[in-house]
Amino acid sequence: MKFSKQLQKIMHHFGLSTTELADKILVPKATISHLISERNKPSLEFIMKLHTTFPTLNLEWLIYEKEPFLVTEIYPKSIEKDQNKIPVLNEISEVEMVNEIENEDQNESQPEEIEPKNINQNITENPKNILSFQSKEIDCIVIFYNDGSFKKYNP
């Protein structure tokens, strides 16, 4: 099968005209016309744009004409399962995260206020241990997991 036939199959499957396909993958309309008329062969960049825009297209089909046409025809059930596992970035906004942390804080006791130490006085009293003025107490520990969730611990 020539690439022109593959391109026409893609356009038919997704219900796109030449102009709509060109707009969707961000290429000039002439590029699509030249590929359909077999004046030009597709570049790797063009194949990558097609695959990025239509990830269900089988990349081996695009390059080597190896069936099946769509990836979902190879692994229909595993793709559905994997799509449920993919974390959606920015699903929870920063404001929602802060609100969730504040809600957790309301359920816990408020930490007592600690007076800041006079740093200069501490250094002059104990010059050998100059780092002692940096000792601080831990207020909370937040662990971020790779799935986008997090847990806050208060001592």
Report domain extents, the chain.
3-85, 87-110+131-155
Amino acid at position 35, single letter: L
Helix (H) or strand (E) holding 78: helix 76-85
Which CATH number, 2.60.40.1760, 1.10.600.10, 2.170.130.10, 1.10.260.40, labels domain 3-85? 1.10.260.40
> Whose CA is closest to 24, among 4, 44, 7?
7
Task: Please report which residue ranges of the chain form alpha helices under DSSP H.
Answer: 3-14, 18-25, 29-36, 44-53, 59-64, 76-85, 94-106, 119-125
Whole-model pTM: value is: 0.48
pLDDT digits (tens, 9 = 90+) for 7-46: 999 999 999 999 999 999 999 999 999 999 999 999 999 9
pLDDT digits (tens, 9 = 90+) for 42-94: 999 999 999 999 999 999 999 998 888 888 766 655 444 544 544 444 445 45
